[in-house]
Chains A and B, each alone.
Chain A
Amino acid sequence: MIGNDRVEVRKTHKLFVGGAFPRSESGRTYEATNSQGEFLANVAKASRKDARDAVLAARTGFNSWSKATAYNRGQVLYRIAEVMEGRKDQFISDIQDAEAVSAKKAATQTDQAIDRVLWYAGWADKYAQVFGNTNPVSGPFFNFSIPEPTGVVAAVAPQDSSLLGLISVIAPIITSGNSVIVIASTASPIPAITLSECLATSDVIAGNINILTGDPAEIMPSLASHGDVNALDLTGITDSELQKALQIEAAGTVKRVRSAPVNPDWRATPSLSRLRAFTEVKTVWHPMGM
């Protein structure tokens, strides 16, 4: 019999690590609320141990993702956009709940987020031509510089823009071949959880993108000092003291650090600075004419 006596199917909001959806190993959850303070859902509260597991997964993911061809990386990014497009309605309702905005504003943010993925998908096999160069040298060498991915990046997504901001942090990091561990907006984590379900079905290599929900102030210090994390993106860190502390921790292992931007406008077309931030320049001296 179908009717109102149907058993309710409730969702457990979990982490996204290594291509799987684990609960926090600590078993903790926290309450996600909308901007009016009304209860939305219980969300997994990641621990430092979850973050370390994510580093392991990200390193494994990096080893295959960084070897994928630029063309293939572009295809996978495009695939993410495709799958997000099919989940549009869910994103819109998630954003509406989380940010207490109108359906129209939520739809605009969703469209922009999908367009942002597409924008970076296009750059995947083009940024190297922009950042790279052949260099004139005095000697019988063909000398050229090319950008290579930095490695495993730990990022904090912006607190206010729950989907567009998150995408704007993740996409440039992975476009160049890096892996990312991103801590979603603490206040509005549910769009990030829906995104993780898109990523799981988008040919994204397991471990390449790992999404944690929880408190950056708790998780980030151990990632900042972790020897197997190569760079930090502190975009969502609003507390300047915490930002400073993380920068000091990161110095111990000489990490690349991108600080939090001042009043970012996520709707504007981005520059290539985020893409450039997590690449390393390799210069090759190739003997010739000898």
Chain B
Amino acid sequence: MSSLDNQPLANQPPTKQPHKTQSPTSHQGLHAFLAGLSGVDQVGAEARAAALGTRSIKKESKMWAIDTAISMVDLTTLEGADTPGKVSAMCSKALHPDPTDPTTPSVAAVCVYGDLVPAAREVVGDRIHVAAVATAFPSGRASLDVKLLDTKDAVAAGADEIDMVIDRGAFLTGNFGKVFEEIVAIKEACGDAHLKVILETGELKTLDNVRKASWLAMKAGADFIKTSTGKVAPAATLPVTLVMLEAVRDYYAQTNTRIGVKAAGGIKTSKDAIKYLVLVNETVGDAWLTPDLFRFGASTLLNDLLQQRQKMLTGHYSGPDYVTID
């Protein structure tokens, strides 16, 4: 009998369980557990996120927040037109975001398609992480065998983080078992590489679904849960991230395991990024304010962070002429 079969109808199961990744023999328990998660108060979540977004961050804290946000960025390029040259250039920027100021921290990782992992690894060495999107990104519409091969291929090429997408079709039709088993299988294929599970919240439509998918992914062995691919609008929003952070907090309370959260897509300004940091601090606490547990998936955000950083240091506003164009 799977441990999931004993879950009561609430999101606060009493028994502590280890961070398990094996597949349950039956998915009844999983279904019962997900059905038993309490619904999300959407209006409340939006109000809470909006209220936290109005915090005033003063100068020293802002400088810290900007540097922290830079160190949390997964600098991303996921275009059909990506070339090894473009990836190399982006990797150089990831290592030294502002070449005029060596005190600028490096970003956390670069995020590329699987076939460009070698090009990225060549430039960054082991100084920062290389994340690869796998499992038929961004749609996730492929057989499990293809997804596993995709994953193994990226890991073999040197990726130490895998960003997988869940099968939203299966999730939305209520086939939670399939989604669960897929994550378990991919996690196994990852080996030592960290697994980020993309929920693609823009396609899940409701915050209830976001909460369910978050729990599903964490129970299946995700190291990180990630909002979006960046290919679907809406991508990351504050209320969605709040719900995911709450799931992570509750999961930690039960299992003592810290799962990371990655907000990806649509975060373009330093102001937005700082709102997310406030949200993290107020929801899961400052233990999560580290690149190991919170990330931004972004491309244009970095330039805005750098411009704000230059403003803080020089006292006058910077412009796009003073940062590199990706």
Interface residues of A (CB under 8 A from B): 52, 55, 59, 222, 225-229, 249, 252-253
Contact = CB atoms under 8 A, between A and B. Distances in A.
Interface in B310-326: 310, 315-322
Interface of B: 307, 310, 315-322
A57 B310 CA distance: 20
Nearest to A63: B320
Contacts of A222: 316-317
B37 to A, nearest CB: 41
A191 B317 CA distance: 31
A228 B315 CA distance: 14
A226 B321 CA distance: 11
Nearest to B311: A227
A226 B311 CA distance: 9
Nearest to B319: A228
A252 B319 CA distance: 13
13 contacts: A55-B317, A59-B319, A222-B316, A222-B317, A225-B315, A227-B307, A227-B316, A228-B317, A228-B319, A228-B320, A228-B321, A229-B319, A249-B316
Given A226-B317, A227-B321, A249-B316, 8 more contacts: A55-B319, A59-B320, A222-B316, A225-B317, A227-B310, A227-B319, A228-B318, A228-B319
B317 A52 contact: yes
Contacts of A52: 317
A249 B316 CA distance: 10
A208 B29 CA distance: 60
B317 to A, nearest CB: 4
Contacts of A228: 317-321
A253 B310 CA distance: 13
A222 B311 CA distance: 12
Of all A-B residue pairs in the complex, the 10 with the closest CB atoms, nearest first, are: A228-B319, A225-B316, A227-B319, A227-B318, A226-B317, A227-B322, A227-B317, A52-B317, A226-B316, A227-B316
A38 B320 CA distance: 45
A241 B168 CA distance: 65
B311 to A, nearest CB: 8
Nearest to A226: B317
B318 to A, nearest CB: 4
Contacts of B321: 227-228
Contacts of B320: 59, 228
Nearest to B316: A225
A82 B315 CA distance: 43
Contacts of B318: 227-228
A71 B320 CA distance: 29
Nearest to A223: B317
B98 to A, nearest CB: 13
Nearest to B318: A227
A203 to B, nearest CB: 26
A134 B310 CA distance: 41
B325 to A, nearest CB: 13
A227 B321 CA distance: 8
Contacts of A55: 317, 319
Contacts of B322: 227
B59 to A, nearest CB: 16
Contacts of B316: 222, 225-227, 249, 252-253
A114 B65 CA distance: 51
Nearest to B310: A227
Contacts of B310: 227
A172 to B, nearest CB: 23
Contacts of A253: 316
Contacts of A225: 315-317
A59 B315 CA distance: 20
B249 to A, nearest CB: 35
Contacts of A227: 307, 310, 316-319, 321-322
A52 B320 CA distance: 14
A257 to B, nearest CB: 16
B289 to A, nearest CB: 28
A1 B310 CA distance: 62
